[in-house]
Amino acid sequence: MGCKTSILECMRDKVELEKSTSSETRSSLVTSDVTETDKEQSSPYLMFCERRLVTEEDDHKEQPQHKTDVLDIVGEKTPFEDNAHDDSDYLTIKGPQDVNAHLLTTSVPSIVKILLVFSKDDQQMEILATTASKLGWSVSVAKDAEKAIELYQNRAHELVIIDHRGHRAAEGDAICRALRSSPVHYNSVIIALVKKSYFMLADKDHIAALNLLETGFSRAMMECSHEGILINELVGIYTSSLLPRTQLAAAHALYLALDRCRDMVHVTNDKNIVQFLNKVSEKLLGYTLEEMMGRNLSEIVFYENFALMEQQLSKGREFEGNMNCKRKNNQIITINCRIIPFCTTLKKPTHYIYVYDTTYLSENIAPISPIASPLHPPLRTSILSNARKHSDVRSAISEGRRRSSLQKLHTLQLEAPITKVITLLSNAVTDTTNTETAAQIDKAIDILKTTELYVPHLKEDKIYNDPVATDLVGALLSQSSRTWDSRRSSADSARLSTIKPAMGPTNARISMKNFRGPQEIADILDSSLEWEFEIFKLEVLTEGRPLVFLGLTIMNLYQVPAKLNCDEKVMQNWLSIIEYNYISENSYHNSTHAADVMQATATFMQSKRLKEILEPLDEVAALIAAAAHDIDHPGRSSQFLCNANNRLAILYNDLSVLESHHAALTFKLSLSDDSVNIFKNLDRETYKLLRQNVIDMILATEMTKHFEHLAKFMNVCSARIGDGQVESYANSLDMSVVLQPDNVILIKRMMIKCADVSNPTRPLKSCVEWARRIAEEYFCQTDEEKKLKMPVVMPMFDRQTCSIPKSQIGFVDFIINDMIEAWDAFIDMPEMVGYMRQNYEKWKEYNEQGISTLQDVEKIQQHPDLHIPRLPR
């Protein structure tokens, strides 16, 4: 402890202190209520503590041989120290010397409180008080048992000295017993002050100190009137008794934390006999403390490759693996466990610490019946075994295969989250008593083992009985796959062998610097962030250029030119070239659709939730992606391009063909000329990040990834309840989870997806017009497929037979409803859900009224409430 040097320094401090306090009266040091604040100020004891710690460090520096001795015990040369990269997962054998000093276990009282119990003031009491005060300790004095107990219970003194001399011995014993009965006595050292003759009067065969220990005293101290001897005696008591008790109290706190932690912990001796187990162990395994203590742990916990484990532990290395643990009802559960060898003698391991990763199991595993025991297996086991006796041979083989696969899974050194999920489900199968539940869990495991967890499939229990709806949904969600047809001629793919050149003429840019359009344009742009925005009216007023007008308005509202550090003229030129490269002949995928998606995105970003989540660069990326997300769309689906051997399908390997083209062309055009390059003034890292965001959001509009994005979003941000309802986490949403980078990316994907298919959530007249336009585009594709004898992607979208109301009903049922309700729950935009439900009911009415074809829809649009202005064709 370095105590010897500390005592000498303390004595020097004492001499200096005596010089500085010589004018003070002796009686002032003896008080019954000395405040700790007074003693903490310039306390010699504090200096004593600091010097003691420094001296300890110096002592260690002077003894370098000590560290060598420890290494010699472990081995001649520790390869896992010299070659850390070869065996970095393992550590040398643990011992007290390897445990870092923590505040909890090294903290000492800021000031020692000492209680002197003397029935009368005498020289011995006064000199004890003086000596303790010189050490900076807080001294309290009591003259009787009642006062002693009162002071002790109020202040919980670390050190108590009771006068036990002569006839006061009986009273001293009584006071000691009274203090020991107090709940605060555990951390106190109680000393009996005895005469020098106390130890000489006893019989030679009797140890006098035993009487004191049995009474409750910690030790005895002989009376002494010499300050130098007493100060050394008190320092020795502090070092040998008070400090260890402080550390013991901290150990009790750690013990409590260990006992209450959520992971199962076992501690054994070197013979593997259980010395400690915490409460989780009883819950998981079913054995009580009495049943486990003193038992060999290998009877309950075992590892398949025992030789490997023993080899690692014998070298003083930690070992980690999946242990098979036998529960009290004889069931086996597999738990990942880390075993840490611990050495207290510096020669070989004296204890083994088993730490099991059981946080999930402790919350979800079923409790074990009290009647279960190794001799009497519980009823549930027999029920399960009887049920399996009646199962067929294939079921038994399947069970064996599953267990074999699980064992192989446990031997892997790498583990993914899905592996943990499968392991937990596999353990659950062994615990369940219900064969039907076990079968369902097995089915879930089989699904999780596939590599296409989010590949969309129509729900088996909700197959729509209308072929039009099924056709539409199937075409939207189908992956691109090449269909070979021997009837196709060599010229079949010529129709789309080329796409219209992307670059427009140099005079295609629209000069808006001094533009003074009709007041109607200005009026309608005033409502650019309202959900009822009349996009088709703007289309007519701008003569088919809504993206430039609306886009520039929204970009300025979000201060995009300033955030990109570009001139507004450059932003205007960029919008112009983007709009020029939309194909105006398309009935649906044109610049009006792009402007509509951009307007929806801008409106979404006005929500309080998205303002909390999105950074300024996120907003910029979202608006750019929305404006360009369908640029140069040919009015045909990706599947059509693949079937036609189109150059884009070949270029992008039939994968996300259109979306990849939209993203690539956006940046090709943007970087083609400084007059349109809105990214020109960004630094490299900002541009790279912005580009990644824009590309990611454009690719997210691919419908084949719809259910993947939706499922992930609902897992993070909302919970599905009841029949298609969504309960928002608005009041309890953990923003620390939402703001994780991957989740922010997911939210931006959902935002542009919802904007892209928001047509059914707009007011009825807009909803009907969008339905008419998309139907017309699908009909044109079907017409061309039939003309060129190509595979028909959506055969039910025949302009002669297709029912537009049915297609819209199916689209809402399968694609829109869940996504919009989840999005509304997240950003709180109820008007979307309101319009969607109203429109859905209206489509049902139209279907019942026999409205079906394009001509029928155009006829109902003649009604003033549904009339939409159109550009002349």
* CB contact set of 467 (below 8 Å; sequence gap of 6+): 796
User: DSSP letters of 795-844?
Assistant: TT--TTT--HHHHHHHHIIIIIHHHHHHHHHHH--HHHHHHHHHHHHHHH
Residue 654's closest CA among 666, 640, 667? 640
| Cβ contact 78:92 at 8 Å | yes
The confidence score (pLDDT) of residue 449 equals: 62
Give the pLDDT band (50/70/90) at residue 249: confident
Pick the catalytic residue from 410, 589, 662, 709.
Answer: 589
Give the pLDDT band (50/70/90) at residue 482: very low
| Cβ contact 554:599 at 8 Å | yes
Q: What CATH code is assigned to 113-256?
A: 3.40.50.2300
Q: What pairs with residue 277 in β-bridges?
A: 266
Query: Which of the following CATH numbers is that of domain 261-356: 3.90.780.10, 3.30.2020.30, 3.30.70.1560, 3.30.450.20?
Result: 3.30.450.20
* CB contact set of 277 (below 8 Å; sequence gap of 6+): 264, 265, 266, 267, 289, 292, 293
Residue ranges of the annotated binding site for AMP are 589-593, 630, 756, 808
Q: Encode pLDDT of 104-162 as tens digits.
A: 555 566 688 899 999 888 888 999 999 998 888 899 999 998 899 889 888 888 899 99
How high does pLDDT run on average in the chain? 76
Mean pLDDT throughout 412-418?
53
Checking DSSP bridges between strand 159-163 and strand 138-142, what pairing results, if any?
unpaired
Q: Encode pLDDT of 640-668 as tens digits.
A: 999 999 999 999 999 999 999 999 999 99
**Separation of alpha carbons 342 and 738, rounded Å:** 42
- Say whether 589 is catalytic: yes
Which ranges in 198-242 belong to alpha helices (H)? 198-201, 208-215, 227-237
Residue that is written with structure tokens 């009877």 in the block: 299
Residue 816's closest CA among 797, 835, 801, 799? 835
Distances (CA, A) of 648 to 265, 594, 670: 60, 21, 20
Mean pLDDT throughout 563-574?
96
Q: Encode pLDDT of 204-244 as tens digits.
A: 667 778 888 888 898 899 888 888 888 898 888 888 887 78
How many residues appear in the chain?
873
**Separation of alpha carbons 231 and 12, rounded Å:** 12
Distances (CA, A) of 374 to 290, 334, 370, 811: 15, 18, 12, 59
| Cβ contact 111:138 at 8 Å | yes
Q: Encode pLDDT of 820-832 as tens digits.
A: 999 998 999 999 9
* CB contact set of 781 (below 8 Å; sequence gap of 6+): 635, 636, 637, 640, 793, 794, 797
Residue ranges of the annotated binding site for Zn(2+) are 593, 629-630, 756
* CB contact set of 685 (below 8 Å; sequence gap of 6+): none
Distances (CA, A) of 372 to 294, 323, 380: 21, 22, 10
Domain ranges of the chain: 113-256, 261-356, 418-449, 519-717+734-866
pLDDT of 178 over the 70 cut = yes
| Cβ contact 401:446 at 8 Å | no
Q: What angle do CA 584, 589, 593 make, to 5 degrees?
A: 95
Q: Which CATH superfamily is domain 519-717+734-866 in?
A: 3'5'-cyclic nucleotide phosphodiesterase, catalytic domain (1.10.1300.10)
Q: What pairs with residue 162 in β-bridges?
A: 117, 192
Residue ranges of the annotated binding site are 589-593, 629-630, 756, 808
**Separation of alpha carbons 50 and 46, rounded Å:** 6
The confidence score (pLDDT) of residue 502 equals: 38
pLDDT of 835 over the 70 cut = yes
User: How many CA atoms within 13 Å lie on the side-chain side of 834?
Assistant: 7
